[in-house]
């Protein structure tokens, strides 16, 4: 540490790394995040990358970013705007001009601001010279040249040297926020174990960036964010898709079932397949099918055979899975479908977040085809909702659609590690050999039929997509029977409300305004409501994870508030669902469809207009 510099304590800070897709910004942000997590900071992240596989270098369309919000207090969002922006080229600066706090620090790779670089980014003039960023603390660092100078005698080829410049930027930010470098050094040693020259060179550049930041006058101070005061336990940083995969692993263990995943790769759900494929040692079977239809059909076959069966997808894939999902519903077999939502319609915004698949999850099948619908709400609780989706599917013998989204799947946060033995029991509803059984006889409480595993002596029966006769399971075209079966299948899903927890409220049970949300908007809504309550406003939050059926106390909550506003990253799907179920209440709406999470400032501004 420079003896003349000072160290300033911060409660929280938002940092964004941005550059070309090949600049390693996702890795750089992840390393800063992991290091901060090990120091005990609470945190939330938001990776943001382009949809194009090879977007033109130096263009705004090709900018990749990683935003991380760390603090010694509770953190629930990646932050509205950054306190510090690392911009590796003019395009990264231009793309993030409105996402940096006025007066914030911008670390610039000054080597990338030649005229050709400015032209690619669409600048007519150099924004560092025309006053475009007056009021900001601009730190111009010749990152590319200093990286090359550091490694000029290393023996590395030119391409490898250029790729190391992200470590120089990371070293600068490590100095700026008093982060140790040991964790990143270990990461490099493990990742490039067979390439010691690459390890040595990247570590050398990391130190060079750290030392450069320590000596330049543009950074007279460094900062520190102390350990957060959170519930005691052993924590790790976890991404939402990884947490989802682990939730299924825990559920299979608890249910004493083999886990089967039938999947077709699709952004942003593919990481669940990647994660589960790593754990063959646990008996997990993963099948990468030729298309979405084959993926869900293979999972349905595995379900019939007795596995905990899941299939993963995003919105376009869920559309293709609709027919087979209807088959799972009419055969009344347990199946979990995970939809990591992205911007639509069609291909839409494949790397951006949205909540626009709710109607598809609810109604996107032919005929009367009700299924259970759940939604995770934080990257870490994707674990819990994957577990709960498995429990409900296995205990009620019906499909469950679990909604995540791009923000949750790619985002990360601290997760308290727990033991499987401490988790709720899962008791699959399965017929046993020797018992009196008919294939469509139902439990009086759940209205679920028991699942008879193939090969069980005395439990031979037929399944399929044709309508079944009540009790016997024989094929039936009788009109009255079809109507009865449709009503029974709907009531079975409605009865699930008797087996789930009641809806909780953050805040008072009555007041001027009830904010309603569901799924991945939780962090932004909770933070907004919390800050308004600290200002003395009578605002509360009801954030829903059980979508179909809704918790039984939903109407009881609504009746105690003067105003109700439903906030969604779509054009009003959940609010329409609430209107259809609870038409005696007046619901206001707040909707964004921009491929981005809500800003807490936008939410608070709107909520204040609704408080009388």
Cβ-contact 84, 67 below 8 angstroms: no
Region 477-492: what's the mean pLDDT?
A: 98
Give the burial class of 200: count Cβ atoms within 10 A of its Cβ; 0-12 exposed, 13-18 middle, 19 or more buried: middle
Instruction: Give the Cα-Cα-Cα angle 493, 543, 225 (nearest 5 degrees).
Output: 140
Residue 1 above 70 pLDDT? no
Q: Which H helix or E strand runs over 501?
A: none
How far is the C-alpha of 177 from the C-alpha of 10, rounded, in Å?
10
| Tens of pLDDT, residues 403-456 | 999 999 999 999 999 899 999 999 999 999 999 999 999 999 999 999 999 999
> In order of start, what are the domains of the chain with their CATH numbers?
6-224 (3.40.920.10), 236-422 (3.40.50.970), 511-610 (3.40.50.920)
Whole-angstrom distance, CA of residue 256 vs CA of residue 271 = 25
420 Cβ contact partners less than 8 Å away, ≥ 6 residues apart: 250, 253, 254
Say what the pLDDT of residue 5 is. Answer: 58
Mean pLDDT score, 145-167: 94
pLDDT at 402: 98
| 16-20, 63-67, 219-223, 384-388, range with the lowest pLDDT | 219-223
Query: CA-based angle 248:252:254, to the nearest 5?
Result: 115
Residues 144 and 55: their CA atoms lie apart, in Å, by: 21
CA distance 363 to 361: 6
Q: What is the mean pLDDT of residues 123-138?
A: 93
Strand partners, 6: 221
What's the average model confidence in pLDDT over 568-589? 97
Q: How far apart are CA 40 and CA 230, in angstroms?
A: 9
pLDDT at residue 461 above 50? Answer: yes
pLDDT band with cut points at 50, 70 and 90 for residue 7 = confident
285-288 and 259-263: which strand pairing?
Answer: parallel
Percent of the chain with pLDDT strictly greater than 90: 93
pLDDT of 52 reads 78
Tokens describing residue 594: 């921009």
Residue 320 CA, distance from chain mean position:
22
Question: Residues 106-125: what's their mean pLDDT?
Answer: 95
Asked whether 409 and 402 are in contact (CB, 8 A), the reply is: no
pLDDT digits (tens, 9 = 90+) for 159-207: 999 999 999 999 999 999 999 999 999 999 999 999 999 999 999 999 9
Structure tokens at 84: 């510090």
Whether the pLDDT of residue 230 is over 90: the answer is no
Q: Which residue has the higher pLDDT, 217 or 38?
A: 38
Task: Measure the N-to-C terminal CA separation of the chain; round to a whole number of Å.
Answer: 53
Whether residue 95 contacts residue 60, with contact meaning beta carbons closer than 8 Å, is answered with yes
Tell me the mean pLDDT in the region 25-35: 96
Strands (E), 233-385: 235-239, 259-263, 285-288, 308-313, 335-341, 372-375
pLDDT in tens, 537-560: 999 999 999 999 999 999 999 999
Cα-based distances in Å from 456 to 256, 257, 260, 431, 432: 17, 16, 21, 9, 8
3-state secondary structure at position 353: coil
569 close to 523: Cβ distance less than 8 angstroms: no
Burial 488-505, CB ≥16 within 10 A → b, else e: ebeebbebbbeebeebeb
Confidence at residue 3, expressed as pLDDT on a 0 to 100 scale = 45
**Rounded (5°) CA angle 182-188-193:** 125
d(CA 577, CA 563): 18
Query: What local confidence, expressed as pLDDT, does residue 51 receive?
Result: 80
- The interaxial angle of helices 165-176 and 25-38, nearest 10 deg, is 30
3-state secondary structure of 448: coil
In this prediction, residues 297-326 reach a mean pLDDT of: 98
For 160, counting Cβ atoms within 10 Å of its Cβ (0-12 exposed, 13-18 middle, 19+ buried), the class is middle
- Which is it for strands 335-341 and 372-375: parallel, antiparallel or unpaired? unpaired
Q: Could you tell me the pTM of the whole model?
A: 0.95
pLDDT at 40 over 90: yes
pLDDT surpasses 70 at 364 = yes
């Amino acid at each position: 540490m420079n003896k003349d510099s000072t160290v300033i304590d911060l409660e929280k800070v938002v940092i964004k790394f941005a550059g070309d897709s090949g600049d390693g910004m996702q890795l750089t942000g992840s390393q800063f995040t992991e290091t901060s997590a090990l120091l005990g900071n609470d945190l939330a992240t938001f990776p943001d990358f382009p949809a194009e596989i090879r977007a033109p270098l130096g263009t705004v369309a090709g900018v990749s970013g990683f935003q991380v919000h760390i603090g010694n207090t509770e953190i629930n969002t990646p932050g509205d705007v950054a306190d510090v922006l690392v911009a590796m080229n003019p395009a990264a600066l231009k793309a993030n001009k409105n996402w940096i706090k006025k007066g914030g620090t911008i670390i610039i790779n000054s080597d990338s601001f030649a005229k050709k670089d400015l032209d690619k980014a669409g600048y007519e003039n150099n924004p560092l010279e025309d006053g475009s960023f007056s009021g900001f603390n601009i730190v111009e660092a010749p990152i590319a040249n200093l990286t090359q100078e550091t490694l000029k005698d290393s023996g590395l080829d030119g391409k490898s040297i250029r790729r190391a410049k992200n470590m120089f930027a990371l070293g600068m930010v490590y100095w700026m926020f008093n982060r140790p470098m040991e964790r990143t050094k270990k990461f490099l040693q493990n990742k490039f174990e067979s390439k010691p020259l690459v390890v040595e060179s990247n570590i050398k550049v990391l130190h060079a960036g750290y030392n450069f930041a320590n000596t330049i006058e543009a950074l007279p101070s460094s900062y520190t964010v102390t350990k957060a005061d959170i519930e005691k336990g052993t924590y790790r940083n976890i991404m939402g898709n990884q947490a989802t995969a682990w939730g299924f692993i825990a559920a299979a263990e608890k249910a004493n079932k083999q886990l089967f995943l039938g999947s077709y790769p699709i952004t942003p759900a593919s990481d669940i397949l990647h994660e589960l494929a790593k754990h063959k040692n646990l008996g997990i079977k993963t099948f990468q099918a030729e298309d979405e239809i084959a993926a869900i059909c293979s999972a349905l076959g595995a379900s019939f055979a007795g596995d905990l069966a899941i299939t993963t997808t995003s919105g376009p894939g869920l559309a293709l899975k609709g027919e087979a999902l209807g088959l799972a519903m009419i055969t009344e077999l347990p199946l979990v479908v995970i939809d990591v939502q992205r911007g639509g319609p069609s291909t839409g915004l494949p790397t951006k977040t949205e909540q626009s698949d709710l109607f598809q999850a609810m109604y996107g099948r032919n005929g009367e085809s009700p299924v259970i619908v759940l939604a995770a709400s934080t990257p870490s609780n994707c674990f819990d909702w994957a577990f709960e989706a498995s429990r409900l599917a296995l205990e009620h013998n019906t499909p469950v659609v679990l909604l995540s989204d791009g923000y949750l799947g790619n985002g990360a946060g601290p997760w308290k590690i727990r033991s499987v033995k401490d988790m709720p029991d899962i008791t699959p509803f399965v017929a046993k050999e020797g018992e009196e059984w008919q294939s469509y006889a139902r439990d009086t409480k759940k209205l679920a039929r028991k699942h008879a595993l193939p090969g069980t002596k005395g439990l031979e029966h037929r399944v399929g997509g044709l309508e079944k006769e009540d009790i016997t399971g024989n094929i039936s075209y009788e009109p009255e029977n079809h109507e009865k079966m449709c009503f029974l299948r709907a009531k079975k899903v409605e009865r699930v409300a008797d087996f789930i927890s009641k809806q909780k409220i953050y805040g008072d049970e009555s007041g001027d305004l009830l904010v309603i949300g569901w799924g991945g908007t939780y962090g932004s809504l909770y933070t907004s409501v919390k800050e308004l309550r600290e200002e003395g406003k009578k605002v509360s939050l009801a954030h829903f994870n059980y979508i179909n059926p809704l918790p039984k106390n939903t109407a009881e909550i609504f009746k105690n508030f003067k105003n109700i506003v439903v906030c969604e990253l779509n054009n009003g799907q959940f609010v329409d669902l609430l209107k259809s179920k609870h038409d005696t209440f007046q619901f206001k709406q707040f909707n964004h469809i921009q491929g981005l999470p809500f800003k807490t400032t936008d939410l608070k501004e709107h909520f204040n207009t609704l408080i009388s």
